[in-house]
A and B are shown apart, each in its own frame.
Chain A
Amino acid sequence: MDVADLVRAGETIGVVFCMSEVSVGVIPDEHDSAPPSEPKSSVFPAVKRWLREPLLHFLVLGVVLFGAYAYFQRGRGGVESSKQIALSLDDLRTMDIYFESQWHRQPTPAELEAMVEDKVREEVLYREALAMGLDKDDTIVKRRMAQKMQFLAEDVAAAHEPSTAELKAWFEKNSNKFALPSRYSFRHLYFSPDKRGKNAQGDAAKALAKIVGQPEDSKLAVSLADPFMFQDYYGDRAPEALAKEFGPQFVVALEKLKPGSWQGPIESGYGWHLVYVDTVIPGRIPAFEEMEPDVKTAWLGEQKQQAWQKAYQQMRAKYTLLLPAPPEPGAAQAPVPPPAKKAPVPSGEVPPL
């Protein structure tokens, strides 16, 4: 049986084949072992609170990773532990899937073995490099490890599925972020400068005198105006959308009109208008239920940010920065701690310079 067959069969038998002094084994997947039993959190509110604590999650995850690492380092079988390279069934499946996504077919046994050998090569060189201390003072390694710490902290925050009550409570505090603008529905009459030149505004004012008190759908009103290139009626539009369509000055004027009668003239980027606003829906804070998916996205963003800030601050607090003292005449130079300063919090983005 070769590795490819093994993957397809989904078997979990350990196969060890020798490659010089390093052996490769297939080990059972980690998730095959029984999950730890759930804590009865309802009995212990304090415990429950603690369980939500990102830092705790962070620490627990760290311990688990450390334990897993130690376990694999210790290894199994008779070969010296650091000379074993263990690939799980999942690792092999991943290679298989990766290959398929690139080539749109399954790898041949030889191809899969070549991929395994690539992986082994990487692992061998990695371990040898570690043994030689090549990871020390390597900025790329440092940066990558630092980045992983941030991902870890953020992942911990993302792993917690918020309850509706939790989201709702957060929404109450942050509802301004979700405010909806006012919306207008109106009919308008257009007085075209292309057709009327400088008289467009005056003609509109004269027309208004004739249609005062007329209903919105007045036939008389329509007969006095010019055809408009877009719509005569706009329903349920936010100011921003109207500014895009008519130019900003039109919206400033529109917002001052009283609903329920013909008013104007007001100017747009196209000319002059008489306007009958029939409905204004005032801006409001929406109900939580309307916005739940958006609330969840925003909540998650904040959780990640906070979890990372908190995790970093606590780590940072353990360290003291030593800087050279400013040279003083006659004084020997010695590293002294700088004045206490608030630890900078990385945001994950580069700050503007």
Chain B
Amino acid sequence: MQSTQSAEARPAHNPLKNAYFGDLHLHSGYSMDAFAFGTRTTPEDSYKYAMGETVEYMGKPQKRIAPLDFLAVTDHAEYLGVVRDTIDPNGPFANSEWYTMMTNPDPAVSASAFRKLIGSTIVNKPLPEFSDPKLVRSSWEKYAAISDKYYKPGKFTTFVGFEWTSAPQFQNLHRCVIFADKGPAMPYTAFDSLDPEDLWRYLESQRKQGLDVIAVPHNGNASNGLMFSTRDMSGKPITRDYADRRMANEPLAEIIQAKGQTDTSPALSPTDEFANFEMWLYLIGSDKKANSATGSYLRQAYGVGQEQQAKLGVNPFKYGIEAGTDFHSGITSTEPSNFPGSHGNQDSDPKTVITATTSVGGEPPTALSSGGLTGVWAEENTRESIFAAFKRKETFGTSGNRIKVRMFAGWNYPKDMTKQADWVKAAYDGGVPMGGDLTPKAGATAPTLVVHAIKDPDSGNLDRVQIIKIWTKNGKSQEKVYEVVWSGDRKPDPKTGKVSAVGNTVDVKTATYQNTIGSTELIGEWTDPSFDPNAHATYYARVLEIPTPRWSTYWAAKLNLPPNPNVAATVQQRAWTSPIWYAPAKP
């Protein structure tokens, strides 16, 4: 049968929600540092690439295997779009040091330009040649209009965004700012203030003008303990008001991106054998390592947040989870087998990258990960529906793949609920989805959590689903990782409860793997075996894939070189859900 093709129908609104994937953290050539690295992509290229079109990056055509559903280009607000004039041989910078540095083919020279630019934000002294307010405004207006232009409701969603680049003494406090619909008159920069509380003031004033907006902090791992500190910028202990405002402005945190993951570190979670994954130990734009893991990672912050909640009445770190790339290439290229590098000339030459042991950013460029993606559960692919998911934290983060995972919690879920065809509806009706609060219930013995994970159809099978519990009592927090459901017929160790490794099918030399181990889908119900109704608890799920080649291993195989010894040759890609929280009833 054939029929005439009419314009493609807009997909129906799904009250039980679909998973959509996107990136809320991406830099194009409009970012000062990306431009210094030789990245010449524009935000238009970024949206086109995300939608599945071919764009040019570092002189080569690039195309995603699987297009994305949404994207926010978040160029650095400082000098946004105005540094691009430096390479014009007839332009205003023709005879200046900027021209020489920006057009120099040596990555070390462009890195020094980057240092100078980022340095001016760190010492908070804007370079006057890039700060003419008229130029900045005209550049911003163009930039925001591009985001509106590529928004196709029902098909592809764009958000107006920018990155606020605050990093006092190279300690990263960066936030990406994402608007619900129309963008603001002007972005807020680190020159305006380095203090997150001032950024929140800006967001609050935008909301008063009818522009809903959130900020998403990232790279606590490069913050030297500043990101999840219990003191404010002036060194005073945080207050209830601070906690309220932090959560009103920042519902989500970014758990992984190019410069490493912020879930946890082996130092903080010594019994978690999967903690050592895509670590980035350096401060931002610096060759110095962070001194402190404490205050830098989300998992620990969930516990500290509960301790604060017991004191202040509000949890200041009740973050939902998303993930992004922070690529400075203008393209969200998170597919390891299809990875063109992510930081312009800093990691575009495969041979240098595979053999390098040092770099301008501290870590060698191989240490950059192939990024992350944000997943949301939303009724339809529109700004309204997806932004609402951000705000209710019905989100998850992945290490760049498209694992679909959702979690619910309830007190009275029937046994084997997930065997029913309409279990999702029952899970919503009888409990809360991830991002929600499980409120105390008199007489209830323990909550049941349900997790459902489906593999990325273009990546490795699934190894296991775990629930990570952080509980707090009498001002003390503890964490434990529970195995919920796993592939094959492995049995948990009777002593530790741990399930053995899934195996490894990767052939490093050819950078190939087989989906002969692992599962396509894992679904499990888990009832907390040590629930204490008088303790605060945060529960989130982690889904692990079977080992697959890391992006750097694909590059090494192509060059017929051994993989760089500084990084793992194979990785277990993963996804993390937003938590579900429990707080005891007030006595």
A residues at B contact (CB < 8 Å): 101, 139-140, 142-144, 147, 180, 183, 192-194, 198, 227, 229, 236, 238, 240, 243-248, 250, 259-260, 268-271, 278-284, 286, 290, 349-353
Contacts and interface: CB of A to CB of B under 8 A. Distances in A.
Given A139-B93, A193-B515, 7 more contacts: A140-B132, A180-B7, A247-B457, A279-B2, A282-B5, A284-B5, A350-B84
B8 A353 contact: no
Given A268-B457, A353-B38, A236 B1 contact: no
B390 to A, nearest CB: 21
B52 A236 contact: no
Contacts of A268: 457
A271 B457 CA distance: 9
Interface string B368-401: 0000000000000000000000000000000000
A189 to B, nearest CB: 15
Say which size band chain B's interface belongs to.
Answer: 35 or more
A329 B502 CA distance: 76
Contacts of B9: 236
B40 A286 contact: no
A250 B65 CA distance: 13
Nearest to A259: B1
A259 B3 CA distance: 13
A198 B8 CA distance: 38
16 contacts: A139-B93, A140-B92, A227-B421, A229-B521, A236-B8, A243-B66, A244-B67, A247-B458, A269-B455, A269-B456, A269-B457, A280-B2, A284-B5, A350-B84, A351-B40, A353-B103
Interface string B1-18: 111111111000000000
Interface in B505-528: 515-516, 519-521
Contacts of A349: 42
A229 B523 CA distance: 11
A276 B575 CA distance: 34
The interface residues of chain B, by DSSP majority, are classed as loop
B87 A183 contact: no
What 7 pairs across the A-B complex have the smallest Cβ distances? A269-B457, A139-B92, A247-B457, A281-B5, A352-B40, A270-B520, A244-B66
A279 B5 contact: no
Given A139-B92, A269-B457, A350-B40, A282 B67 contact: no
A61 B231 CA distance: 60
A144 B134 contact: yes
B454 interface: yes
Contacts of B135: 144
Contacts of B67: 240, 244
Given A240-B67, A269-B458, A139 B91 contact: yes
Nearest to A286: B7
A183 B458 CA distance: 21
A238 B11 CA distance: 13
Contacts of A143: 85, 91-92
B56 interface: yes
A166 B522 CA distance: 57
B494 interface: no
B273 interface: no
A176 to B, nearest CB: 15
Contacts of A238: 8
Contacts of B161: none
Contact of A282 (B2, B103, B185, B421): B2
Nearest to A248: B65
B521 A279 contact: no
B235 interface: no
Contacts of A260: 1
B377 to A, nearest CB: 14
A137 to B, nearest CB: 11
Contact of B40 (A244, A246, A282, A353): A353
A350 B29 contact: yes
Contact of B5 (A144, A180, A269, A350): A180
B183 to A, nearest CB: 15
Contacts of B52: 240
B465 to A, nearest CB: 14
B457 A245 contact: yes
Nearest to A238: B8
A262 to B, nearest CB: 16
B192 interface: no
Given A192-B520, A194-B521, A353-B40, A290 B7 contact: yes
Contacts of B429: none
A227 B94 CA distance: 65
B88 interface: yes
